[in-house]
Amino acid sequence: MLSPLLPSGIPGLYSTASVHDLRQFIDSSPWTNPSASDPKSQKVLILDVREPSELSLLPAIDTPATIAVPMSSFRHDALRLIRRKVDELRRVHGDSASENSPTTLKDVHVHIMCASGTRAVKAAVALGWEGLFGDVSVVTGGMQSWGRMAPETKAATSRRRAE
Element (H, E) at 43: strand 43-48
Tens of each residue's pLDDT in the chain, 163 residues: 344 445 567 777 899 999 999 999 998 898 888 787 665 677 899 999 999 999 888 888 889 999 999 999 999 999 999 999 999 998 888 776 655 555 578 889 999 999 998 899 999 999 999 889 989 999 999 999 998 885 655 555 555 555 5
In order, the DSSP letters of 50-104 are --GGGTTTSPPP-STTEEE--HHHHHHHHHHHHHHHHHHHHHHTT----TT-TTT
Q: How far apart are CA 11 and CA 42, in angstroms?
A: 19
Domains and CATH numbers, the chain: 16-94+102-162 (3.40.250.10)
pTM over 0.85: no
